[in-house]
Amino acid sequence: MKKGMVYIIGAGPGDIGLLTVKGLRCLHRADVVVYDFHLNAQILNYINREAEFIYAGKRGGYHEMSQEEINRALIDKAMEGKIICRLKGGDPFVFGRGGEEAEALAKEGIEFEIVPGISSAIAAPAYAGIPLTHRKYSSSFAVITGNEDATKPESTIDWAGLAKNFDTIVFLMGVKNIPNITEKLLQNGKPPETPAALVRWGSRPDQKTIVSTLGSIEAAAKDAEIKPPAVMIIGNVVKLRDNLQWYEKKPLFGHRILITREYSTDYEGLEELGAEIFEFPTIKIVPPLSYEQLDMTIDKLETYDWLIFTSKNGFNFFFQRLIEKGRDIRDMKGIKICAIGSKTAGMLKNYGIKVDLIPEEFNAEGLIKAFSQQNKDGLKGIKILLPRAGEAREIFPEKIRELGGFIDTPQAYRTVKPERHAKRLQRFLRAGRITLATFTSAATFNNFLEIVGSQAFGFLKDVTIAAIGPVTARAIEKAGLKVHIMPEQATIFAMVDAIIKWGKDVNTSMN
């Protein structure tokens, strides 16, 4: 059997935006992914869902797999002819043991590639507003492992050279060794008043930065209860943080936001303002069990006066089936088009479809009002086609029929509860690391309760909750929880705007 291929990929320090394009492409192709603990959980959602996941993480000193076991797993899977992605935090060749893994593969004649990642040595200081070099303050920097026992006689660190020859010194994984590190630097001539900083969980919502001096950083770390993972920066560049800190000033910094449907670009505004997205879809959009109803309406498409699309999903599934039946956009000629929301309307325009009506209110009541205004002579005899989800409300169709109109509502798609494991989400909720949860339908909320289990209600009690609209809000409140954020229009885009406004208001009140 032909041997497989191994990609040793650096995933960066945490912010998913720092994962490289090449790394993402490799993950899309993977048959097997061997991943570590210190990763943004969102990255796992971009991996081919058919891939085999092998957790090899290290947390709190506990190793899920030894390095020898990791090497063996990479070799064994490659021998099966598979494409393997070894996903590591930071950069695999910067204190990441990627070199050892590559050596093991080379020894077995297995092809591999290294996909560099952004090291926390660079990213954590940058997100804290500390440049490693600066024309006025630093012309050199060194990156040192903080794991080496600084007191051992056989230390390979040149402490005298380090203290005297580098303007900026960065220590990785050195929280437990801060006393030894500072002592060695002070003994070798580094002034105690040299500025020093610690950045924990750099580039994540949990980021915490403390600034002190070389002589006082140990006490400051204890007072602030700084624990691993953290990066220590020593040098005059630390003084620049007062003016250059940017990440921690973002209005949604510190927030990890749970979204219970698949990620879309509508959520980008939250990330741009400092939030981290935790994607955990509790519904999955799938085709209907039968196309019989939809096919019957497509066969008589020319008989309708209006065609309504309530979402991108409704249009995509309808249009796909239209094409599959040997028809195309020309068959929609003469039919007026109603789109719910500017995003849906925009997509239709991209297909060259003119939109005749966008209701001001994105719900059944708003639709009824819009159609009544659009048809001054009443709705009697008007024929409407509304391809939609199988679980949609009946308020609008019933009202149309009451007013003398005809409406067909074939199922174009349906939502199902995906099979998901909630262990990571439960851990984040339990630790208070999810600050805001969003729900875009009653189904996303109810499925969340079922997937997470009996503890779900307790987890959400202290979390800010955003609901897309009143129907979703009622389902949440019926369960005994409070809805804190609800937009005027029932769209994801409007909900994101409402969350941003909420975040800015919270920051203003705190300041």
Q: Which of 98, 78, 75 is nearest to 87 (CA)?
A: 98
Q: Which of 24, 491, 510 is nearest to 269 (CA)?
A: 491
Residues 6 or more apart whose Cβ sits within 8 Å of residue 86: 6, 7, 8, 9, 34, 70, 74, 92, 98, 101
Annotated active-site residue in 5, 173, 232, 332? 173
173 is catalytic: yes
Annotated active-site residue in 3, 58, 250, 325? 58
Tokens representing 21 are: 């394009």
DSSP code for 74: H
Spell 132-166 as b/e; 16+ CB within 10 A means b.
bebeebbeebbbbebebebeeeeeeeebeebbeeb
By the 8 A CB rule, do 208 and 200 touch?
A: yes
Residue count of the chain, please give it: 511
Asked, as a colleague might, if the bond just before 397 is cis with ω within 30 of 0, I would say no
Annotated active-site residue in 5, 15, 36, 91? 36
184 is catalytic: no
By the 8 A CB rule, do 486 and 466 touch?
A: yes
227 is catalytic: no
Tokens representing 238 are: 């630390």
Residues 6 or more apart whose Cβ sits within 8 Å of residue 18: 12, 117, 118, 123, 203
Residue numbers annotated as active site? 36, 58, 173
